[in-house]
C-alpha cells in the first residue's frame, strides 16, 4: 500500500495564483470547518482560548522580497498538501495508513491504520501534514475527497472547500494530468511552478508566480499625456472655449 500506485493519468490538484491571493485566510478557515466536521477525526485546537495550538491543513504564509529595482513586495502564500507524484510521505509510512489513490492521485491518510509516528510529516518537505494531538492521527489535505465526488452536494459544489470559498478566485482545482484542462492551461500560460523541485517529490499542485510589478515612469507611450499644453489657466480656459464649439 505504501508503494506508490502505478501512475494514473489523472492528477487532481490545485493551482494557486500568487498574483491574486490577497492573504485573507478564507481558504484556511473554510478548510478547517469542512474537515473538522467531515473526513476523519476533527481538527482539534488545544488550549483553544489560551496559547492555542490547532491543527490546520492549509496555512497562508507571507513573504517579502526586495527586487534589485523597485519597491519591496509582499506575497501571500497559501500552502497545503501538494499531492506529490513521488510522495515521500507515502513510502515512509510503516502501517500503510498513508497512501496515494490510484484513480486520481490524491494522497490520503487512512486514520484507522495510522499509529501517529509522525514519520510521514518528517518526510514531507512542505509541512503539509500535522499530527492531531487530540486524535493522535496524522491529518492532511484530502483535496476534499468527500466533496469532489459527493453526490449529496450540487454538482457546482463538488470542489474543495478552499476553492469554493476563495473570494479572489486565486485557487483553481482540476486535473493536472490532462493537458487540456483549465488548470493545465493556466499552468502553461502563466508559467506555473513546482515547489522545491530539488526534493524530487514531483508535486502535482502548481503555483502561478506573481506577475511583474510596475512602477509607472515616463515611458514613450505616455509622452502625449505628459506634454504640458497649458502652462497658465487662461491657456486652458481658452482651449476649453474652443473645444466646446466642437463637442
Nearer to other proteins among residue 1 and residue 178 (C-beta): 1
Nearer to other proteins among residue 102 and residue 188 (C-beta): 102
Q: How far is the CB of 180 from other proteins (least distance, A)?
A: 20
How far does the chain reach from its first CA to its final CA, in angstroms? 77
Cα 171 to Cα 42, 43, 168: the distances in Å are 24, 22, 8
Q: Is 7 in the site for other proteins (CB under 8 A)?
A: no
User: Interface residues for other proteins in 193-212 (CB under 8 A)?
Assistant: 193-200, 207, 209-211
Do the beta carbons of residue 146 and residue 37 sit within 8 Å?
no
Q: Is 236 in the site for other proteins (CB under 8 A)?
A: yes
Q: Which of these, 164, 238, 153, lies nearest to 14 by C-alpha position?
A: 164
Q: Is 141 in the site for other proteins (CB under 8 A)?
A: no
User: Interface residues for other proteins in 74-133 (CB under 8 A)?
Assistant: 74-77, 79, 88, 90-97, 99, 101-102, 108, 110, 112-119, 121-127, 130-133
Q: How far is the CB of 1 from other proteins (least distance, A)?
A: 5
Q: Is 137 in the site for other proteins (CB under 8 A)?
A: yes
User: Interface residues for other proteins in 145-164 (CB under 8 A)?
Assistant: 145-146, 149-153, 156-157, 161, 164
Q: Is 36 in the site for other proteins (CB under 8 A)?
A: yes
Among 8, 10, 29, 178, binds other proteins (CB under 8 A): 29
Do the beta carbons of residue 243 and residue 237 sit within 8 Å?
no
Cα 133 to Cα 28, 36, 53: the distances in Å are 19, 14, 9
Q: What are the cell numbers at 30? A: 473554510
Among 9, 179, 182, 213, binds other proteins (CB under 8 A): 213
Q: Which of these, 196, 225, 208, lies nearest to 76 by C-alpha position?
A: 208
Cα separation, 126 vs 202, in Å, equals: 12
Task: Give the chain's length.
Answer: 247
CB under 8 A: which stretch of 6-14, 168-176, 177-185 binds other proteins?
168-176
Amino acid at each position: 500500500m505504501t508503494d506508490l500506485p502505478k501512475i494514473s493519468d489523472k492528477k487532481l490538484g490545485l493551482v494557486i495564483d500568487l498574483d491574486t491571493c490577497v492573504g485573507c485566510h478564507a481558504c484556511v478557515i473554510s478548510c478547517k470547518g469542512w474537515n473538522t466536521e467531515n473526513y476523519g477525526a476533527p481538527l482539534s485546537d488545544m488550549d483553544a482560548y489560551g496559547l492555542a495550538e490547532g491543527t490546520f491543513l492549509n496555512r497562508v504564509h507571507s513573504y517579502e522580497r526586495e527586487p534589485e529595482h523597485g519597491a519591496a513586495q509582499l506575497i501571500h502564500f497559501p500552502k497545503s498538501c501538494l499531492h506529490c507524484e513521488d510522495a515521500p510521505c507515502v513510502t515512509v509510512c510503516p502501517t500503510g495508513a498513508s497512501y496515494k489513490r490510484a484513480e486520481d492521485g490524491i494522497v490520503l491518510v487512512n486514520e484507522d491504520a495510522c499509529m501517529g509516528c509522525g514519520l510521514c510529516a518528517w518526510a514531507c518537505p512542505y509541512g503539509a501534514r500535522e499530527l492531531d494531538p487530540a486524535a493522535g492521527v496524522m491529518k492532511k489535505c484530502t483535496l476534499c475527497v468527500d466533496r469532489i465526488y459527493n453526490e449529496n452536494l450540487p454538482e457546482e459544489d463538488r470542489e474543495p472547500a478552499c476553492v469554493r470559498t476563495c473570494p479572489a478566485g486565486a485557487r483553481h482545482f482540476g486535473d493536472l494530468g490532462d493537458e487540456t484542462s483549465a488548470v493545465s492551461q493556466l499552468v502553461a500560460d502563466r508559467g506555473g511552478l513546482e515547489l522545491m523541485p530539488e526534493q524530487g517529490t514531483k508535486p502535482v499542485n502548481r503555483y502561478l508566480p506573481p506577475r511583474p510589478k510596475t512602477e509607472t515612469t515616463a515611458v514613450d507611450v505616455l509622452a502625449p499625456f505628459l506634454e504640458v499644453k497649458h502652462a497658465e489657466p487662461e491657456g486652458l480656459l481658452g482651449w476649453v472655449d474652443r473645444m466646446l464649439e466642437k463637442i
